[in-house]
Amino acid sequence: MNGAMLDLAVDYPLLNMFWTMMLCFFWVLWFMLLFRVIGDIFRDDEMNGWGKAGWTIFVILLPYLGVLVYLIARGRGMGERELKRAQQHEKAFRSYVQESAGARSAADELSRLAELKNRGDITAAEYEQAKAKVLTS
């Protein structure tokens, strides 16, 4: 068995291994591009159902030609839609973080103010002013 493995290694030169790796790389790259195009077709809100169906059929039946034509015809919009989607996600994430970090209840604020007053960090007048501000908001 060990001799058979050695013969296999000798019969498959380094350059052939390089070309096999390149083919695998391009095969994976092709599928990534194909899935990216199909994903863009279904995520496009401006395209109607018939347009989505037509592009999908074209990309599935003639994949190389379909993807090439899609990238030529709608490639610029593909990047713009992706940028718009990323900006919307960023905006939603920022609003979520601000909402989560800044959302304190009035009871929490009042207890914090009472603690500041008890420690002597604020005067009674400042405490009453801040308390009124918390209760009105």
> For the segment 75-122, what is each residue's pLDDT rounded down to a tens digit?
888 989 999 999 999 999 988 887 777 656 777 888 888 999 998 888
Residue 88 placed within a domain:
no
Kindly give the residue spans of alpha helices, DSSP state H, lying in the chain: 2-11, 14-43, 49-61, 63-102, 106-119, 124-136
Domain extent, residue 36, equals 2-74
Instruction: Report, in angstroms and rounded to the nearest whole number, the Rg of the chain calculated over CA atoms.
Output: 31
User: 28, 58, 74 — which closes off a domain?
Assistant: 74
Number of residues written out for the chain: 137
Q: Greater confidence, 38 or 9?
A: 38
Please check whether residues 18 and 70 belong to one and the same domain.
yes
Per-residue pLDDT reduced to its tens digit, 21-74: 999 999 999 999 999 999 999 999 889 999 999 999 999 999 899 999 999 999
Please check whether residues 67 and 114 belong to one and the same domain.
no
| Four-residue CA torsion sign, 120, 123, 129, 135 | positive
